[in-house]
Amino acid sequence: MTLEVEFYSEAFDPFLPEGSQISFERYGAELTWWLCQKLAAEGIYTSYPSFEDWGWFLKYTKDTNEYRLCCGNIDSKENWWRLILQPRSKTWFGFKKMSVTGAKDLLNAVDKVLTESELIDQIKWI
């Protein structure tokens, strides 16, 4: 199962100045909020967007399994964006990561949202 997708879009440029971003040239807040809303419209409920110094993410829980859908810009490729699914571990040291098959409905919804949006172009699952 593919866990990463890249695509082109001019719709998610940050509207706040660089000094307001979480880290230098780390963008994705607008994309993450948009994706959260689109997934909810498909019946896939995530957390509100959260961030770390590397970028933005949505938490998704299915049964007792937790995943992060990481969202952000691609370095040195203007208007290119990447989403990466990360299964979270149930232990302190990263052992026992969840199978990605538990997030198949999330990945299917992401694919549908991206494919059906007129804002998105050149979708590449990696």
Q: What is the average pLDDT across 21-31?
A: 90
Length of the chain in residues, anyone? 126
CATH number, position 35: 3.30.310
The band of 92, judged by pLDDT with boundaries at 50, 70 and 90, is low
H or E segment and range at residue 124: strand 121-125
Q: Which domain holds residue 69?
A: 4-125
pTM for this one?
A: 0.89
Q: What would the pLDDT profile of 56-87 be if each residue is shown by its tens digit?
A: 999 999 988 899 999 999 999 999 999 999 98
**Token reading at 89:** 């571990």
- What residues contact 40, with CB distance under 8 A and at least 6 apart? 46
Q: Where are the alpha helices (DSSP H) in the chain?
A: 29-41, 104-116
Number of domains observed in the structure of the chain: 1
What's the DSSP call for residue 89? B
Q: What is the average pLDDT across 24-47?
A: 96
Query: In this model, does residue 50 exceed pLDDT 80?
Result: yes
pLDDT of residue 100: 72
